[in-house]
Chain A
C-alpha cells in the first residue's frame, strides 16, 4: 500500500539547514495498523505530513497504492488527498460553524457528490461512530471524544485507502483515548490501512506494528501483540 525509499527532508532555518528525515525506508501493506513513535523532533510528524501529501520530500520516492507521488501541484495533491487519504488530527480540526453532519459530508462535497447522497453517506458514517443522534450539533456542543469520532467519520467519508492519524488521542483523557482507539481498531478490523503517530506507549501497543523514529532515522520496526483497547476501558 505504501512504499517509501530513501526519504530525505530538511528545513531551512535562516542560514542553517535542519535535516529532519535522513533516509527513511518503510513500507506498509494493506490492512496494517501501524504506529509511528518517537520523541519530539524525531521527525515523525514530518514523515506523516509527507505521507499525507501536505508536505513534499526533498529526495526519495513515495508510492501510494501503486501511484508514484511526485511533482505534485496543488490541484493534483488535493485530488490525491481526497481520493487516497483520510486525516485525523490531534485538535480534531472540525469546522466550527458546521454541524457534525456537514463536517462529515465535506470531503464528499469536494468529491462532487450530490447533496442528497452526501447527506445520506455522511449519516451512515456518523451512525458507524455512534453519533447519529448528534448529527445536527455544532462541534462546540460535543465532548472531545465525540469531536474526534466526528473527525474519524469525516476521514472515512471519502472511503480512503489509508487513514493518517496525527496524535489522535493527544487531546483526550485516558478513557476517551481508549474509546477512540477501540473505534480505530474496529475500522482496521474491517481491513482499512491506518497509520497512527503517537508518543504514548499504551496507544502504540494497541496497534499491530510499532515503528520507532529517532533523529530522522528508523531505529526499530517490529510487530507487536495487539492490545485490544476495549479490555482496558
Chain B
C-alpha cells in the first residue's frame, strides 16, 4: 500500500493515458453520483411524506359512517348509519387504558360564520377538549374548549388562524362574538395547525352545545382516537390494528351491520396509511439502490475493460517482470492496486460532488413530496465500501489474466 514504486508505476500508467483514465473514472464517478443523488431524493421523499403526516397525530384513528350496502338480519341495504353519544361513551370506557386522546365530532353543515360585516363559510364542528391534540393544533391566543364548556353548554368557539385573519383582520378576536346561523358565540381562542391553512379554516365549539343548538340530539358524526405511544412503529401498528378491528366489530354489531359490509362503517387507521406509504418508500428506496448499483456496475465494467487493455498493453512488461523474478501475486496486486486506486479516486469525486449537490441544492427543493433530500453518514460509508469492492472486482479479471501470462509468450509479444 505504501510502496513508493507501486505508486510511481500507477501514476505513470495513468499519466500515459490521461484521457482514457479520465473517461473511465467519469463512468464510475457518475455511477456513484447517480446512486447518492437517487438515495438523497429517496430520503427527501421520505421526509416529505413524513411531513404530510405531521398534519395530524400520526397514529390517529378516525371513524365515519355511511350507508349499508348489504342486507342483514332482515334489514334492507341502504340504511344510513348514525352513531350516537353512547357509541363514543362505550368505546371510551372500554378502551380507556389504551387510549391517549379521544373525541367525538358533530359536524354542523352550512357553517356560515359572521363577524360584523365579514362573513365566510367554514367547517364548523362540535368537539371534545382532546380534539386539539388529535388535530395537533396549538393555541396562538386564548385557550381551547374544556370540559367545563362542554358540561355547561357554553356558547363559545375556537377559531382557526385563517378564520381569524379573514374575519378579524388584525383585530384581537378574543372575547368578541361571532354569529353561527345568527346565534352569538364568544371567541375564546385562536389555533394554528401544522397541516397548514386548510386545517386552519375550522371553527370548533363544545360538542354538547353543537348538539343542542343545532338540533343534533345525541347524534355524532365521527369518532377520533389516538392510542398510547408504543415502543416502536411495529408495536404501534399492531396495537392500532387490534383496536380498529375491535371498534369496527363493536359498531357493526350495535348497528346491525353485516360483518363484511365495508361501506357502512369506516375506521381509517392513519398508521396503516402511513405504513403503506413507508412500504412504498422502502420499495422506491430499493429501486433507487438497484438503479444506482446497476449504474456503478456499468462503471465497473468500464474500468475492468480498461484494465484488460492495460494488461494487454503491458503483456511484454509483465513477461519481463516475471523473467526477473516477479511472483504471480505481485503482478495481481499491481493490477488490483491500480484498479482500486482509479475506482476509489473517481468514486470519491462522484461522492463528494453529489454530497455537495445535496448539501447546497437540496434545501432549495420544496415540493409537496420531497423535503430536504439528504444522505446520512452510514449510507455514505456504505457507498465507499461499495467503491472499494467495485474497484477490486473491476481489477480481478484483468489481474487474474495478467498473472496467467506466460513469460515466454509475453516476451514474444511484439
Contact = CB atoms under 8 A, between A and B. Distances in A.
Interface of A: 49, 52, 54-55, 74-75, 78-79, 81-83, 87, 89, 93, 95-97, 102, 106-107, 109-111, 115, 154, 158
Interface string B233-275: 0000000000000000000000000000000000000000000
A49 B324 contact: no
Interface in B394-414: 403, 406-408, 411
Contact of B320 (A75, A93, A111): A93
Contacts of B52: none
A78 B320 CA distance: 11
B330 interface: yes
B16 to A, nearest CB: 7
Q: Does more than half of chain A's interface fall in helix, strand or loop, or is it mixed? A: helix
- Chain B interface residue number, banded: 20 to 34
B316 interface: yes
Q: Does more than half of chain B's interface fall in helix, strand or loop, or is it mixed? A: helix
A78 to B, nearest CB: 5
Contact of A106 (B319, B321, B327, B407): B321
12 contacts: A54-B411, A74-B327, A78-B322, A79-B325, A82-B324, A83-B325, A89-B320, A96-B317, A97-B12, A110-B327, A110-B330, A154-B324
A155 B16 CA distance: 27
B5 interface: yes
Contacts of A107: 324-325
Contacts of A106: 321, 324
A107 B321 CA distance: 8
A115 B4 contact: yes
Given A49-B408, A109-B5, A97 B322 contact: no
A78 B326 contact: yes
A78 B316 contact: no
B413 to A, nearest CB: 11
A59 B29 CA distance: 54
A89 to B, nearest CB: 7
Contacts of B317: 95-96
Contacts of B316: 93
Given A93-B316, A95-B317, A97-B16, A110 B407 contact: no
Interface in B1-53: 4-5, 9, 12-13, 16
A109 B321 CA distance: 10
A200 B340 CA distance: 48
Listed from nearest, the 8 A-B pairs whose CB atoms lie closest are: A82-B325, A54-B408, A110-B325, A93-B320, A97-B12, A107-B324, A54-B407, A74-B328
Contacts of A110: 321, 324-327, 330
Nearest to A73: B328
A124 B320 CA distance: 22
Contact of A75 (B16, B323, B328, B406): B328
A79 to B, nearest CB: 7
A54 B325 CA distance: 11
B322 A95 contact: no
Contact of B325 (A102, A115, A158): A158
Given A110-B321, A115-B5, A158-B324, 4 more contacts: A54-B407, A74-B327, A97-B16, A107-B324
A93 B320 CA distance: 7
Contact of A81 (B4, B12, B324): B324
